[in-house]
Structure 1
Amino acid sequence: MFKIQINPQSIVLQSETHQAEIFPFGAILNRFAVQQNGGWRNVIAAFDDENQARSQITNGFRSAKLSPFACRLNESRYVFENTEYVCEKHVLNGHAIHGLMYDADFAIQNHGADEHGAWLELSADYANDNSGYPFSYQLNVKYVLDNKGLQIETRVHNSGSRALPIADGWHPYFTLGGKVDDWALQINAQQMLEFDDNLLPTGNTLPESRFQAAESLHGVELDNSFVLNNQEDVSCILQSDDLILQIHALQNYPYLQIYIPPERDCVAIENLSGAPDCFNNGLGLTVLQADESKQFVARYDLSVK
């Protein structure tokens, strides 16, 4: 039997084998754990609590919801329907990064648990408080825990009266214990986007076949955007000596951004609907008409070897 526990600053979905902790702040997945030797083995680089998340979310954007754009926006500028906008909420090296909703407060819309799973539905309205993105939309995030793992369904609804540009993504950092160098990675991709020196796509793709089978991450450095072969097969497998994490891009996430930070104690594996700077380069860009919606679905399956 599944259960759900609602606390003032977090919600816990739990089964006999898996557990997920979610913050309403940012709709953050703070912990995702599997039962191992009588205890919980968490694989998310977590915050201590919601207060720490609020104060440190822009320090690495751990588990952040990336909306209405993901990764970098070139010089914080873009043109949509013949109008240029400057969108500056968090700027790194001259480029806006990771959108506008990473620090939004989400409200609980629905929750429950039964013999098949536990679920939590959160929503937030973009406050239309940034002159660089003068559009209106609602962001709905649903977490569903079942016997294998966790599914995350995001629905974006254009609640305004005109078209808007949108991309969606997630920014979790996964940790399997020890260092990245002790883990192996497999990716369902044979191409990655070519980046310039500012980590912005050039418009070209490069062949990349290193991770067709499980490949050791010992000494490997990554900050790359992979183009998935398809969304039917497992997108990515990260494994250590005792854990296996499978990541699925089930719906409308054709790109997988992977980043290994200098500390090498975790790896960011980011499902993206659009490429970095897609407001300018159009790679994966979604345009929603007034009252139109789109859904994006990712899934994490976690098991002990």
Structure 2
Amino acid sequence: MEATCLHAIEADAVDVPAASGWHPYLAPGGSHETLRLETPSLRPVSLDATGLPRRDASGGLVRRDETDLSGPLAGRSFDDLFEMSGEGWTAAVVAADGARLEVIADRNWRWMQVYAPEDSDFACIEPMLAPTAGLSDGDVAIVAAGTTLEASFTIRFTA
């Protein structure tokens, strides 16, 4: 079973900044201790104590070395922002019985937030068009006047 979300931003007479995010709580069954994450290689963005991206002296985002979050959720929790490759990506939450919920995002979803509190029976894999605070910080794609930005992602469940 799957559902696809198509997000379209039309810029009519003026350029329009594009920022959007979706927050699917993925719970394929089981407890935090038995769930697994599967992710591609991710580029973490350093966050401050309030969860906003840190900036360097020139105003750029502070990025950390690439990582892969794949593995059991047991003993781990997340509320983290990642920059993606720009080629599209797939990430999943998998239950011990093999049930899996995947998020499959196209190349326009350049950012991913992963949220999985330690006491949860879910994990959020959140496709985002811009990083957290992107509109206020200017880290957004601009949709040129007379054009449309289309971005889609699919959530797929397999038992």
Same fold by TM (over 0.5)? yes
Task: Provide the residue aligned with 2:15 in structure 1.
Answer: 163
Counting strand residues as a fraction of each chain, which structure ranks higher? 1
| Identity rate, percent | 20
Partners of 1:229 and 1:180 in 2: CA distance: 28
Listed as ranges, the matches of 1:1-305 within 5 Å are 18=1, 149-159=2-12, 161-202=13-54, 203-211=61-69, 214-232=70-88, 234-242=89-97, 243-261=99-117, 263-283=119-139, 285-304=140-159
Q: What do residues 81-131 of structure 1 show as CA deviations (whole Å, max 9, x unaligned)?
A: xxxxxxxxxxxxxxxxxxxxxxxxxxxxxxxxxxxxxxxxxxxxxxxxxxx
Shift of 1:263: 4.1
Partners of 1:164 and 1:229 in 2: CA distance: 23
Shift of 1:254: 1.1
Partners of 2:149 and 2:68 in 1: CA distance: 33
CA RMSD of aligned residues (A): 2.0
Decide whether aligned partners of structure 1 residues 210 and 293 sit closer, same or farther in structure 2, where only a CA change above 3 A counts: closer
One-letter identity of the residue aligned with 1:175: A
Task: Provide the residue aligned with 1:99 in structure 2.
Answer: none
Partners of 2:86 and 2:16 in 1: CA distance: 26
Decide whether aligned partners of structure 1 residues 215 and 253 sit closer, same or farther in structure 2, where only a CA change above 3 A counts: same
Shift of 1:230: 4.5
Partners of 2:72 and 2:119 in 1: CA distance: 17
Shift of 1:194: 0.6
Mark the structure with the bigger radius of gyration. Answer: 1
One-letter identity of the residue aligned with 1:166: A
User: Is the CA contact (8 Å cut-off) linking 2:86 and 2:107 kept in structure 1?
Assistant: no
Partners of 2:145 and 2:86 in 1: CA distance: 29
Q: RCO greater where, 1 or 2, for CA within 8 Å and sep 6 or more?
A: 2
Q: What do residues 259-303 of structure 1 show as CA deviations (whole Å, max 9, x unaligned)?
A: 1246412222110011011123333x0223333311011112221
User: Is the CA contact (8 Å cut-off) linking 1:193 and 1:206 kept in structure 2?
Assistant: yes
Partners of 1:208 and 1:216 in 2: CA distance: 19
List gaps (5 residues or longer) in structure 1.
1-17, 19-148
List gaps (5 residues or longer) in structure 2.
55-60
Partners of 1:224 and 1:169 in 2: CA distance: 14
Shift of 1:198: 1.5
- Report the TM-score when normalising by structure 2: 0.84
Number of aligned positions between the proteins: 152
User: Is the CA contact (8 Å cut-off) linking 2:75 and 2:118 kept in structure 1?
Assistant: no
